[in-house]
A and B are shown apart, each in its own frame.
Chain A
Amino acid sequence: MNIFFKVFFVLLFCSFNLKAQFKINGNVKDALGKNLKDVTVSVNNSTTKGIIAYFITDEKGNYIITLPSMSNVFIRASYVGFNNEENVISDKVFVYNFKLTEGEVNLTEVKVKAQNMLTKNGDTLNYNVKKFSKTQDRTIGDVIKNLPGITVNSSGTISYNGRPINKFYIDGDDLLGEKYALASNSIPLDAVEAVQVLENHQPVKMLENKVFSDDGALNIKLKESARLKVFGSGNISAGLPLYSGEGRVNALAFKRKIKFINTYAFNNIGVDLNTDVQSQNTNAPWLQAIDKNVTNLLGFTSLPNPVLPFKYYTNNISHLAALNFLLPISKTKNIRFNLHWLPNKISTDTKSTNTFYLQNDTIKQYENQISYLKSKALFFGLTYLNNSSKFYLQNRLSFESHLDNGASNIENELTNFRQSLGRNNSTIQNDFLLKQASKKQYLFEVSSNIKYSTNPENLSIGYGIYPWLLNNNINFRQADQYAKQHSITSNTMFSLSRQIKKFTTAIKAEYFLENINYQTGINLTQTDNSTTLLGDKFLNDLNWFQQRLKIGPSVDYKTNKMNLSITLPVVLRDINYDDEILTKSISIDRFSFHPEVKANLELGRYSKLLVAARRQTNIPTPQDLLFGGILHSYRLLSQNNQEVQFGTFNSITLSFAYRNPIKIIFFNTAIIYSKSYSPIISNTIFNSGMLLTKQEYFDNLSNRLLVLSNFSKYIFPIKATIKAGYSASVLDYNQVQNNVITKLKSISNNFSTSINSKPVWYFNTELSVSYLTSLTKNISLKNNITGVNKVISTVLQSTYNVNENFYLQAEANHLYQSNNGNSNKLILFDAKLNYTIKKTKTDIGFKAMNIFNERRFIITDIDGLQVSSNDFWLRPLTLLLNVSFRF
């Protein structure tokens, strides 16, 4: 390698010496052939557009320019009152003459209204944090969510102009990986100089300007003072109801030799600490791979989350301890250590009524559940990274464990009973990625992922459930469902690519190995306390083995204005599985083709267009092959009798993005059409309160049209950011209930808008409204029995600063729902006052939540032909005294 570099440098210098003396010359005339004096003739770099050399024409209109290199440059003649002329410089031509035409001065008029509020430097957008922040903002996350062009969803995922970011950096360092919400919630605002968006960010340094990336990354640029010492923040509050409170302490350092964010937090007032350490989806949803991790097979029945802030309906006791360290070894190498521990207890008290509108029947189920679920999550990760301009190596070893146990009391239309649940889902894995560039523009990549997961689960149902099915119609005392999963997977990838001018060609091979073992069974406790293990119909012992080889070429074509990439892999699958209970062994080989085309086009300065299409063949998850019955919850039993079937998935995406940093306007829209085919469908059979699902053979075609749009703009006179979003989805699909196939069409529209304004320093306000409609049409019967469901949610928050140190804040949440002529509404009020002691950087505050003490709320959800009316517990009036401090 060393010799190679020496030779390379010698050649490089030789070539410089050879090329150092290029001279180009020419003459500039006007349209009448008169020589033009004082014309600026400049030579610019074609990529950066930067000026390399120039000459002002003499009396005779002549110029002469000396150049270090003649490749990748263009020449421009400009003169006041004339139109600019440009010419590409080619290697062998040394004379460039210009004939300028007189014309109306062609100026794009620009007015910089707010100096340095949002600036653009190449691919980097700089948001001036000071200009966008409000008096009550304390952490950088408070500001990020209100920046034009940026959206943050309820789980903390940050998107820039409609696409989730691919990296979250703090001063250029990736300290938290994809679990970045912790940084948003812990970095104090006054430590930050700017929030930067790195457009088209390629995280691998050696691939910069080589491999195109259409993702954006976010960087928190810190103030110089924040890089010198350990600093932090904290807060503690307590109040009524008795023992209500929350607390948090963050210690941070971003020094040259060590960087860390360490946090401890607790609360029992509905603050979701899980989002702090949750993996954020770092890819656009429509481009995601479909491979899944080991999931939970057993659980309690649960309700979908209502369109309300989490804090109002969650009854929790949560703790979070997180340690994140980054130790730079050299300029390009670092070691990262991430650990978090999150014990969380969530209690629920819900009532729900589910109505299933079947072809010939309407079935109603009722449930009142009081439950708790304690979960302890532990995560540990150790990452080594070497990201240099010639070499990239990343290795990450991680361990993740989720230990759940809980109990619930159920009262339903049949009986009342108690159930308990235990789960222990652990995964250990190692990821390795190596990229190496070599001579002749070759790029070589190897990656490996090895993963072991296990998940023993147990669900005890404390009464003789479905005796007609499980126990020959004889009453019994208790049913215990157990399920054990073990999974070992490994994925090895090898790729070799070569860049020749505008083309990059690659060949990529990926070998995937998967072994999953499922063991499930049901134990019954009879009335005489004897236990019996149910027979073959409720037993599973399945050993699944899959080998998959994905191999194929890809071509990238890149110019200044566009990027086209085509991937054409073929997939060879070899699947073997043994069912020990049925004593059968199946072996399948299958060949499929997974083409993908993607094109990015720059449509001028502000806008770009993305067109993407792909096709792939899917197989169902092996749990759909489990023949023996499994009680997933006390309501739901699955029993399958099918072999592996192959389905297909096709999608086309068209997206357009516009951003104008001078006028601070952002707009994006995406249209995604997808079509999927599966030869099987899930059939739900209703029987005496039980839902039995079976996979049936059926040509199941479904298609979906999705439209997503976002707009945001900063309005200078009222110092406001307005945002608007619209999404619509039309889904055509099939549902099978009691052996009857129904064709359905689900249409949903979601319009949301917000305005965030601080017209004067002492007052700021934020109003957001979302309007959601959904409708399911029964195409088979040509009716829409479930009606149109409308949900309007409005949040208004206003802050008034009495003086520099004292502010008052009021917040109102309004929720309105109507469905089939029934409507209900809910209004929740919060208030807060805060006094800042500037000298000690301390805040003293008082907070009241749910002032009118609303205690229950009913909201309707529609899923296909099922209408659920869900009645939630609401957190009572809470009064808190709060102290927050900085150190």
Chain B
Amino acid sequence: MKTFITIVLVLIKVNTFAQQKDNVVGKVFYTFKHMSDTTQQNSYREENMKLYVGKSLNEYFSADQEKKDSLRLKQIESGGGFVINTGGKKTTATQILTDKVTKKIIIKESLIKKYYYEDAYPNIIWKITSEVKEIGDIKCTKAEGNYKGRVYYAWFTTELPLTGAPWKLLGLPGLVLEAYDTKKQVMFLFAGIEKNHGKISEINLEPPGAIKTTKKDYLQMETVAKSDPMGFINSTAADAGSGLQLSTSGANGNFKPKKPSNPVELKDN
């Protein structure tokens, strides 16, 4: 009975935010740098990220992942059977959708299939400082705030008619162009900005073809996938009914996910 009520409530809640679509007005590019192992101080994992900014919705995702996906799609289109090579540069599949009006966050994940769930909207208390600098010729002001166990410096501006921030560093007016934690272990560096040229890109709060879920359920599924990746893939792939084969660049059967010693999120709050 309790579960039923929860499901009903979740569905109702899902329905309330599932209607929105928005047109992309501007695209902001960031370079994400992460020192995943503090014993190697000068070694950073780098990834190119994109922030699509709409009037009310924003979407933050990995440009490298997007490139990888489009290459894969080409492979699929060119031949029947295909091989996924999970080796090479690690990219982030997680996409973050933000509704600035209703203050909601939707996380889009990909674990063979696509899932989405609602996440807590961060409530970062930002302290605006008097420090000012120019980033890419745009005058920015420095703010300081605590999020997930790290103290972040965010450089934001209201010079541009865009509102948004990389990752989940939300709550400041205008656009955050650069952010990093005080130890410079997690950095979002400004890499460019452009208008939405040509075809209209859309941000969709309810991604088509994705399965609605909750954060709790998804994380559980992820744990299963990580502890027994082959089993998880095979069960999911069998369900999908395609002739999928998987090859990993590591030792096949004994694939163990490496937990970063210095994750981006140090605490849950």
Contact = CB atoms under 8 A, between A and B. Distances in A.
Interface in B23-45: 25-26, 29, 31
Contact of A111 (B133, B159, B174, B192): B192
B136 A110 contact: yes
A120 B139 CA distance: 10
B194 A111 contact: yes
Interface stretch (A44-52, A221-229, A621-629): A44-52
B193 A40 contact: no
Contact of A121 (B134, B158, B162): B134
B136 A112 contact: yes
A194 B138 CA distance: 22
Interface stretch (B109-117, B124-132, B201-209): B124-132
B128 A80 contact: no
Contacts of A288: none
A38 B101 contact: yes
Contacts of B31: 115
Nearest to A661: B137
A450 to B, nearest CB: 45
A605 B137 contact: yes
A107 B133 contact: no
A56 B56 CA distance: 13
B190 interface: yes
Contacts of A806: none
A105 B195 contact: yes
Interface stretch (A81-89, A391-399, A634-642, A726-734): A81-89
A34 B213 CA distance: 38
Interface string A98-123: 00000001111111100110001110
Interface string B141-174: 1000000000000001111111100000000011
Contact of A78 (B136, B137, B158, B190): B158
A79 B25 CA distance: 11
Nearest to A53: B128
Interface in A25-62: 37-38, 40, 42, 44-45, 48-54, 56
B195 A107 contact: yes
Contacts, number: 113
Interface in B182-197: 189-196
A51 B154 CA distance: 13
Contact of B193 (A52, A109, A122): A109
A311 interface: no
B72 interface: no
Contacts of B194: 107, 109, 111
Given A80-B54, A112-B191, A122 B101 contact: no
Given A84-B161, A109-B195, A121 B136 contact: no
A45 B174 CA distance: 16
Contact of B173 (A56, A105, A110): A56
A620 B205 CA distance: 83
B55 interface: yes
Residue among A40, A106, A120 with the most chain B CB within 10 A?
A40
B195 A49 contact: no
Contacts of A79: 161
A662 interface: yes
Given A51-B128, A51-B158, A106-B161, A81 B136 contact: no
A719 to B, nearest CB: 18
B100 interface: yes
Nearest to A82: B161
A662 B136 CA distance: 6
A50 B53 CA distance: 23
Nearest to A109: B194
A50 B54 contact: no
B191 A78 contact: no
Given A38-B101, A42-B173, A80-B163, A49 B139 contact: yes
A42 B159 CA distance: 10
Contacts of B137: 108, 110, 120, 605, 660-662
Contacts of A38: 56, 100-101
B148 to A, nearest CB: 23
Given A38-B100, A112-B191, A52 B128 contact: yes
A419 B120 CA distance: 93
A632 interface: no
Interface residues of A, number: 39
B158 A80 contact: no
Nearest to A663: B137
Contacts of A40: 158, 163, 173-174
A76 interface: yes
A80 B132 contact: no
Interface string B199-222: 000000000000000000000000
Nearest to B55: A80
A832 B138 CA distance: 46
B192 A80 contact: no
A438 to B, nearest CB: 27
A38 B26 CA distance: 18
A49 B25 CA distance: 25
B227 to A, nearest CB: 37
A112 B192 contact: yes
Question: Which residue, of A82, A108, A605, has the highest number of chain B Cβ atoms within 10 A?
Answer: A108
A122 B55 contact: no
Nearest to A42: B158
A122 B133 CA distance: 6
Nearest to B162: A80
A105 B192 contact: no
Contacts of A108: 137, 193
Nearest to A105: B25
A76 B130 CA distance: 17
B134 A42 contact: no
A64 to B, nearest CB: 14
Contact of A122 (B128, B132, B190): B132
A50 B163 contact: no
A110 B136 CA distance: 7
B34 to A, nearest CB: 15
Contacts of B131: 50
B159 A84 contact: yes
Contacts of B54: 80
B29 to A, nearest CB: 8
A80 B55 CA distance: 5
B134 A120 contact: yes
Contact of B134 (A51, A109, A122): A122
A108 B175 CA distance: 14
B72 to A, nearest CB: 26
A110 B54 CA distance: 18
A83 B162 CA distance: 11
A108 B28 CA distance: 12
Contacts of B130: 45, 48, 50, 52
Nearest to B22: A80
Nearest to A84: B161
B189 A115 contact: yes
A578 B133 CA distance: 63
Contacts of A111: 29, 191-194
A115 B46 CA distance: 12
Interface in A711-753: none
Nearest to B131: A50
Contacts of A49: 132, 139, 159
Interface in A120-163: 120-122
A23 to B, nearest CB: 18
B196 to A, nearest CB: 8
5 contacts: A54-B128, A84-B161, A110-B136, A110-B138, A115-B31
The 10 closest A-B CB pairs, nearest first, are: A50-B132, A49-B139, A111-B192, A40-B173, A51-B141, A110-B136, A54-B173, A48-B132, A42-B158, A50-B141
Interface of A: 37-38, 40, 42, 44-45, 48-54, 56, 76, 78-84, 105-112, 115-116, 120-122, 605, 660-662
Given A48-B139, A51-B158, A111-B194, 11 more contacts: A40-B174, A44-B158, A50-B141, A54-B173, A76-B158, A76-B159, A80-B55, A80-B162, A111-B191, A112-B190, A112-B191
